[in-house]
Structure 1
Amino acid sequence: MGQHYLKPLFAPKSVAVFGASDQTDSVGKIVFHNMLQSGYQGALYPINPNHPKIQGHQSYASIAQIPEPVDLAIIATPPHSVPDIIEECGKHNVKAAVIITAGFGEAGAAGIKLERAVLENAKRYNIRLIGPNCLGVMRPDIGLNATFNHGSANTGNLAFVSQSGALCTAILDWAKSNDVGFSSVISMGSSIDVDFGEILDYLVSDVATQSILLYIEGIRNARSFMSAIRAAAQFKPVILVKVGRHSVSSKAAMSHTASLVGSDDAFDAAVRRAGVVRVQTVTQLFSVAKALSCGFHPTGNRLAIVTNGGGPGVMATDIAADLGLVMAELTDTTINQLNQTLPGTWSHGNPVDIIGDAQADRYRHAVKACLEDPNVDGVLTILTPQAMTRPLEAANAVIELSNQYSKPLIACWMGGTQVEESRRLFNHAKKPSFRTPEPAVEVFSFLSEYYQNQKLLIQVPGPLSHHLEPDVEGARMVIEAALQDRRKVLNEMESKALLSAFHIPVAKTLIARSPNEALQIALELGFPVAMKINSPDITHKTDAGGVILNLTNAQAVPAAYHEMLDSVRQYRPEARIDGVSIEPMVVKPNGRELMVGVTNDPVFGPVITFGAGGTMVEVMGDRSVALPPLNSFLVKDLIQGTHVAKMLGAFRHMPAVNMDALESLLLRVSEMVCELPMLMEMDINPLIADEHGALAADARVVVAFRTPSADRYAHMAIYPYPSHLVSNWQLSDGSNIVIRPIRPEDAELEQVFVRELSEESRYFRFMNSIQELSQAMLVRFTQIDYSREIALLAVRETHGRNAEKMEVEVGVARCATNPDGESCEFAIVIADNMHGKGLGSKLMTALMDAARERGLKVMQGEVLSQNSHMLKLMKNLGFTIEPSKEDDSIKSVYKLL
């Protein structure tokens, strides 16, 4: 796609500073001074109509007087002047602007009106904006310091993006004294135009950036944010701080789930799925970034501790346990190695106490043995300065080992003066080191979390993961009927009908509207039975006296009916009552009471929660939260995130729960969330699971009308695997071809396909002499974010050496949405032995249909001029073919969809 469209913003060849000034302490003076002092190599123009010179440089009254093109405008003028400045910039073909000025949306109605005018003018001329009300933008490697910060930043490989300008200034001040450098510092301000999503897109392709740090106060566009942050995290570590973790407000929740799950839970679930590390403090932000920049490859949460002091080792062990880390169990081989090199009084276990008189050799042998132990995922080595200790030599030994192994190796040199030189050595070597065990163990916990979250990142689950398809249309009819009755809360019969449509086992339930009906139903179902109030106004039935369990005979039923209605009317006299529900008592002696819920976060949309169930659910607060869609891996992770997970295995006299049934039920709930946009809240509580399966004993569902969208998954932050794009096609020789969206597990299939292409086909596809795909390219091509891309494989089924069925890739077509949101760029390649069989036309037609379904209007691409077969295909499909404006050897092709 050529250079990134935000390049004029972050790598401008020329900059104009509106409001540049000589006035002491004015923002315009500081910004222009910073640009001069930072060594910016491009053309720099101060604009101020009141002064012919600014800080010794020729000033211009307006941008119209500047004879050369200007890429970027920095605006530090009063807010009422900004709309006209953007208009002038548009006429001068300026591509981007950073609006430092405050006084817009945050300043009330007048400010909102100004902000709207700025945005309208910018969109009319296609000018991209950072701000307003921001510190500005820094790119130290090109000398761009378009901020009013007092001072510049060191050049480095960290990109820092912040919604707080004040925090930027504090961090920049801290970074100077801690030898931390940046590729970019971006203060977003109000972000009325360019937001996190587009900035992350740029930083992914920025070669100067190795890690991305984010300070977040809130997210506006969840789909854009999730799409961009997941794409970024595939290639570069992303570490973030999110403030506002605790909400001081409360709401009247219509379900248990909604009262249990807050916005921070949803945010946390979102960033875990994105493969991102979330930390709590700015210090942790940079400590984790430093650790990840060392080339460590985290692989788990099993920690080994090597220490010359027993007390610090125990302290670190306690912290590890608090953080949910596992103290590694050393293998017999490691123990034997340590016995040979350590004194007989060593601890003979983990923590590895190498005794107070340990010298550098002892550290070297002990740390090396632990790093080579397959049961160890990382090592924390602690030194306390004792009479015999030589901290600097031990530090050198640890640094040497850190350069030889990819496992995380973290140092904690405790003390002051005696270890100061060692700390400088660690800093110079860019190795993580700490003064106390607490932050050292914390960093390892974040590294292990990063490893786990990276596994969550590559999951691309489909909305329909079962062979037995749900009755989606029937479920929608149930919801629509309730909404036509102007009801948002489904009754128990409707709720269970919804679950049944997705093949979730439910307890049979019938409604009785008189004591006599209740008796007849109880006799039909068989005793014992349970009776529950049927009211759209009562969420928590037990609290209202609306649940009576274990009715064992006919005489008890009419009496229970009257007792229940009297109790409910006394508790909630205004509640509408539509009889009672009768269902068989669920008698499961080995059953565990669980809860599965759904709620809708205002930013991230549907959220699924799992945890302990029953009447004490809100008091216990045991729940784990995940963003749909889910697959088996994600469901297991959701379950393991709860305390009740420990009760699902065999213990005492109880056999283990049927985990396959429980996981299947959670997958079904994920399907419901994907396919039913009108599902707003749901409680399945209790869900009773035992060795035989899982049964929804009670359910409550809240629905709401949503405006229909061309995007069937517009309600979701993470786009599911588009299984509806799977199709079958038959060649003229009768062999079957399956066309389906690509999956992460297709990496090997894709590698073999590219490797077996002819040299000419590879050249025509990649426009260079690539032999096979790198690991990064494989990840890029198979871990697709289907909200912004489509990749369709054509595969043919064949048989392997042992007669097992296997797939062979015979073609692939893909397209990526352009930043305008209306067009996309495509690529296609067909196996050499499939040329001339119509597969290219079939794949391209399927790709165009999928793009059209997304609302895209134009498909475009580039074809080498000598690729006659592709140009013929494009002509047959109705594409317009034109010479490329940039390269005579390339043809530009496009088609209106």
Structure 2
Amino acid sequence: MSVTNLDALFRPTSVAVIGASNKPRSPGSIVMRNLLSGRFLGPVMPVTATDEAVSGVLTYKDVDTLPITPDMAVICTPPSHTPDYIRKLGKRGTRAAIIIGPGFATLESEERGRLEYETHEAAKHYGMRLLGPNCMGLISPSAGLNASLAHTDAAQGRIAFVTQSDSLFTTVLDWAQGSGIGFSHFISLGDQLDVNFAAVLDYLGSDTMTRSILLYVESICDARSFMSAARASARNKPILVIKPGGNVPEYRPEQACALRQEDADSVYDVAFRRAGIVRVNSVDGLFDGARTLVRTQTLFSDGLAILANGRSVGLLAADACVSGGGVLAELAEDTRKALAGIRSSHRPGQNPVVLHFDADAQAYEQAIKALLHDPSVAAVLVLHVPFAEVPSEKIAEAVAHTVSQTKRVVLTSWLGTESDRASRQIFRQAGVPTFDTPDKAVSAYLHMVTYRRNQQLLMESPDSLPADFFPDTDKARTIVAQALAEKRYKLSEAEARGVLAAYGVPVVETRTCASAREAVQIAEELGFPVALKVRSPQVPQPFIVGGVMLDIETPEQLWEVAPSLVSRVHRHMPEAYIDGFVVQQMGRRPGAHELFVGAFIDPIFGPVVRFGHGGMAFKVIRDTAVALPPLNMSLARELISRTRIARLLSGAGPLPAADVDDICLTLIQVTQLMIDVPQITDLEINPLFADDKGVLALGAQIKVARTTQTGPERLAIRPYPKELEEAAALKDGSKVLLRPIRPEDAPAHFDFVKSLTADDLRLRFFGAPREFEFADMASFTQIDYDREMAFIATRQLQSGDSETLGVVRTSTKPDNSSAEYAIIVRGDMKGKGLGRLLLEKMIRYVKSRGTKVLEAQTLPENKAMIGLSQRLGFIVRTDYEDDIVEMKLTLNP
């Protein structure tokens, strides 16, 4: 998403107010008042034909009469005048505009659509950025800018708040003022005619004034852009979101398949999780979570230790922790021994750790130190209940001093109101997160747990095709194409099983026939026992009308059963036409779990895979979770872990654990099928038997439709681009593989970085870089392929592992106007043509993406890189003032 000219929106040097007015409560009057009462230092120029002056400032009759070209304009006129003003402003060179107020919302849909189209086209022609329409405007306190309809200003801070809701804009602003919370930016998006969540996230992700980003989301327009921008920003700073849940209906476009409201909400939930965003349920939680995540270190695990001077309050906090999905740390033996020496009213070494009600500062200090030294404790929650003669402030000072000496997370909650106000102030001054109640403290800890887990999911970049998986894609596509050619939009049972089999999903052998005689012959070939089902185009589920018989043991029994099944169906559905029968091997697996695996097309986020408890009670139990493809084994396991049946799959009573790897593989196969055959809109496997022997599908329902989209285009997250892998030969004839980097390359990349000389690193990083650790490899190997690319050259070792020989990487601007590259090759590989192979591959790639310019900077002594760039057609220019060399190649003028 383009961030072009967004600086003019959030940090303009001059502002024009189109439709400025002296009329009380009018948008033109409120905006003028807010702009002039703030700290904005640039000129504010009111434009109106009716008043000589507005708010004491002389007005201008039209845009053409303005003395200077405004950086940004706030348009407060009726919608019918908006396109014309946008053209005039664009012609003058204005770079951004806010279309403020509810004017567009009052129009009939046809008129509104026409005006929005004309407005957008006019702005697009001149490269102007538009915020709104139907928005409350924005406030950027660091720039002294209040270009909004707000009733008050926002204090300066490091939190950015972005909302789709007008009412929440004013409510949160009022609430934050009373809570002493400041903002870097406070933004109302309105109808997102141009500037949307993705554009704002891209801007805020690199904004030095913003340390955390808070969102209120009702709906997402462009899932791919949103996910890409959110994933990029979430790598740098915490993002938290509120979204109305699945209980209130929301507007959604026409859907390819019917979605319950809770399904739609669960898709948003998993999208936020994959983007590294923490979802919260209240405004309090939003800001508490933001402040906690900014002020504290990231958790290295989920283990929480609770320390309190009251057993009940400690147990309540522990219960809230476990209920919310947190983990109570299992204290080590050394920790137990250390705690045993501290005066306690509870069993020493238990978690929660309960001190005596009148425990002093020294007891708290000793207990905290013991807990912080425990390797299983990632965070400590310190609770204090006020008692007479107990020096709360002294204890707070001791806790704050102890916390200042550790990098681990410590949260506090001093219960009480007025009596412990001073203690909470001590924590705030020391930068220690403190909360009014234990529930809020536990909630903040759970936000941190969610953030940590989501950051792990954020780094997953699964293959577009799993390794060692070779489906018969042509067969699956042929079956689907045949159905569509016959204008059928639901595959037959046999066709559905054929599609599954083509993708390696084990299915029960099934055949169809026209008569009972043929059914007996087929049953004898398959082997008894068998199941017999009636076939009828009017009966999608034969078992509902008695058209199924299981465990048929003999030919004689089958002869008797066949006509009785037909009679049953006709009693329930006299109009049903019977095509024949389906004969199926009995797929009984004693003790096997009945699972559900499905996939559907969400109208916003594209293909979604669903997993859960299957069988006849699937719709009653409603134990399912969803995920966005593509999946790998770890993402598939994470999906399974979010269901209740996951506990049973690990083994229950005498039953052995199910083969979870085989279940994961099935999930991967189904998601790959949805990618490879985009005509599939809905797929259900129910039941999928799973036990220690693997999985077995009894059948499936598959719906199809015509589409012009390719499979990868439908995905909200771009998969690993396996199609970009290619073999190449060096000057000495040896072969290397050039391919995109992937998360699994972290160990080999760490060895590669360690092999580089200090001079190599100095030239690459413009100075002496710090010593790299393995943890740093995540930022190198886990990338968003929509906006970054890194090609590595690898060679296989005799051990079967591969080694990294060189890497070239680019970072592309969100608007794809330019990409900056960097390249480095291992010392023993220099002079063999590897650098040229890598850079040529990158040039081909960025050119194919439509990127206009590829550029780089290096130090003058990096003769190898400068010479290579010149040979490949780069324009090289030396900046003697900054002592750098700039290289630039125009790819797509």
Q: Deviations over 1:516-555 (max 9, x none)?
A: 1111111111111112344555454432323321111112
Q: Deviations over 1:270-297 (max 9, x none)?
A: 1111121100111110111111122232
**How is 1:469-868 mapped onto 2 (pairs within 5 angstroms)?**
469-535=470-536, 538-572=539-573, 578-709=579-710, 713-747=712-746, 749-750=748-749, 753=752, 779-798=778-797, 804-821=799-816, 824=819, 826-831=821-826, 833-851=828-846, 854=849, 856=850, 858-862=852-856
- Answer whether contact 2:336 2:348 (CA < 8 A) is retained: no
Counterpart of 2:34 in structure 1 is 34
CA 1:841 to 1:44, structure 2 compared with 1: closer, same or farther past 3 Å? same
Partners of 2:490 and 2:404 in 1: CA distance = 60
CA 1:714 to 1:468, structure 2 compared with 1: closer, same or farther past 3 Å? closer
Deviates more, 1:61-70 or 1:867-876: 867-876
Q: Deviations over 1:688-735 (max 9, x none)?
A: 1111111112211112211045xx511100111111211111224232
Counterpart of 1:104 in structure 2 is 104
- Answer whether contact 1:879 1:895 (CA < 8 A) is retained: no
Secondary structure in structure 2 of the residue aligned to 1:638: helix
Q: Deviations over 1:374-396 (max 9, x none)?
A: 22232222222222322222222
CA 1:116 to 1:250, structure 2 compared with 1: closer, same or farther past 3 Å? closer
**Aligned amino acid, residue 296 of structure 2:** G
**How is 1:82-97 mapped onto 2 (pairs within 5 angstroms)?**
82-97=82-97
CA 1:535 to 1:13, structure 2 compared with 1: closer, same or farther past 3 Å? farther
Counterpart of 1:80 in structure 2 is 80
TM-score by length of 2: 0.93
Partners of 2:94 and 2:756 in 1: CA distance = 44
Counterpart of 2:13 in structure 1 is 13
Deviation at 1:878, TM superposition (A): 6.0
**How is 1:288-299 mapped onto 2 (pairs within 5 angstroms)?**
288-299=289-300
Deviation at 1:177, TM superposition (A): 1.6
CA 1:362 to 1:757, structure 2 compared with 1: closer, same or farther past 3 Å? closer
Partners of 1:159 and 1:851 in 2: CA distance = 32
Counterpart of 1:267 in structure 2 is 268
Deviates more, 1:22-31 or 1:328-337: 22-31
Deviation at 1:206, TM superposition (A): 0.6
**Aligned amino acid, residue 27 of structure 2:** V
- Answer whether contact 1:257 1:682 (CA < 8 A) is retained: no
Q: Deviations over 1:497-518 (max 9, x none)?
A: 1111111111111112211111
Partners of 2:866 and 2:145 in 1: CA distance = 44
CA 1:575 to 1:441, structure 2 compared with 1: closer, same or farther past 3 Å? farther
Counterpart of 1:59 in structure 2 is 59
**How is 1:427-446 mapped onto 2 (pairs within 5 angstroms)?**
427-446=428-447
- Answer whether contact 2:5 2:95 (CA < 8 A) is retained: no
Deviates more, 1:293-302 or 1:72-81: 293-302
**Aligned amino acid, residue 47 of structure 1:** V
Partners of 2:592 and 2:373 in 1: CA distance = 44
Deviation at 1:89, TM superposition (A): 0.9
Partners of 2:827 and 2:349 in 1: CA distance = 62
CA 1:759 to 1:332, structure 2 compared with 1: closer, same or farther past 3 Å? closer
**Aligned amino acid, residue 38 of structure 2:** S
TM-score by length of 1: 0.92
- Answer whether contact 1:878 1:895 (CA < 8 A) is retained: no
Identity between Structure 1 and Structure 2 (%): 38
CA 1:832 to 1:11, structure 2 compared with 1: closer, same or farther past 3 Å? farther
Counterpart of 1:71 in structure 2 is 71
Deviation at 1:320, TM superposition (A): 2.5
Secondary structure in structure 2 of the residue aligned to 1:896: coil
Q: Deviations over 1:567-614 (max 9, x none)?
A: 334445566654332111113223111111111111111111111111
**How is 1:219-230 mapped onto 2 (pairs within 5 angstroms)?**
219-230=220-231
- Answer whether contact 1:358 1:388 (CA < 8 A) is retained: no
Deviation at 1:92, TM superposition (A): 0.8
**Aligned amino acid, residue 736 of structure 2:** I
Q: State whether structure 2 residue 372 is matched by structure 1 residue 376.
A: no
Deviates more, 1:335-344 or 1:265-274: 335-344
Partners of 1:158 and 1:460 in 2: CA distance = 29
Partners of 1:837 and 1:367 in 2: CA distance = 58
Q: Deviations over 1:865-886 (max 9, x none)?
A: 9677656655665667799999
Q: Deviations over 1:642-684 (max 9, x none)?
A: 1111111233222221222222222222322232222211111
- Answer whether contact 1:490 1:536 (CA < 8 A) is retained: no
Deviation at 1:742, TM superposition (A): 0.7
Deviates more, 1:578-587 or 1:597-606: 578-587
- Answer whether contact 2:105 2:134 (CA < 8 A) is retained: no
Counterpart of 1:159 in structure 2 is 160
Secondary structure in structure 1 of the residue aligned to 2:703: strand
CA 1:115 to 1:697, structure 2 compared with 1: closer, same or farther past 3 Å? same
Deviates more, 1:23-32 or 1:495-504: 23-32
Counterpart of 1:892 in structure 2 is 888
Partners of 2:434 and 2:311 in 1: CA distance = 19
- Answer whether contact 2:816 2:851 (CA < 8 A) is retained: no
Deviates more, 1:513-522 or 1:317-326: 317-326
Partners of 2:4 and 2:407 in 1: CA distance = 33
Deviation at 1:892, TM superposition (A): 2.8
Deviates more, 1:886-895 or 1:386-395: 886-895
Partners of 1:106 and 1:637 in 2: CA distance = 46
Partners of 2:122 and 2:492 in 1: CA distance = 51
Q: Deviations over 1:370-425 (max 9, x none)?
A: 23222223222222222232222222233233333333322222222322222333
- Answer whether contact 1:299 1:448 (CA < 8 A) is retained: no
Partners of 1:474 and 1:578 in 2: CA distance = 25
Deviation at 1:268, TM superposition (A): 0.6
Counterpart of 1:395 in structure 2 is 396
CA 1:193 to 1:250, structure 2 compared with 1: closer, same or farther past 3 Å? closer
Partners of 1:105 and 1:577 in 2: CA distance = 55
CA 1:879 to 1:475, structure 2 compared with 1: closer, same or farther past 3 Å? farther
Identify unmatched segments of 5+ residues in structure 2.
Answer: none
Partners of 1:388 and 1:308 in 2: CA distance = 14
Deviation at 1:337, TM superposition (A): 0.8
Identify unmatched segments of 5+ residues in structure 1.
Answer: none
Deviates more, 1:555-564 or 1:522-531: 555-564
CA 1:28 to 1:388, structure 2 compared with 1: closer, same or farther past 3 Å? same
**How is 1:319-330 mapped onto 2 (pairs within 5 angstroms)?**
319-330=320-331
Deviation at 1:787, TM superposition (A): 2.3
Deviates more, 1:290-299 or 1:595-604: 290-299
Deviation at 1:236, TM superposition (A): 0.6
Deviates more, 1:2-11 or 1:329-338: 2-11
Deviation at 1:304, TM superposition (A): 2.1
Deviation at 1:56, TM superposition (A): 2.5
**Aligned length, in residue pairs:** 889
CA 1:534 to 1:287, structure 2 compared with 1: closer, same or farther past 3 Å? farther
Partners of 1:88 and 1:774 in 2: CA distance = 55
Partners of 1:870 and 1:94 in 2: CA distance = 40
CA 1:27 to 1:789, structure 2 compared with 1: closer, same or farther past 3 Å? same
Deviation at 1:473, TM superposition (A): 2.1
Deviation at 1:748, TM superposition (A): 5.4
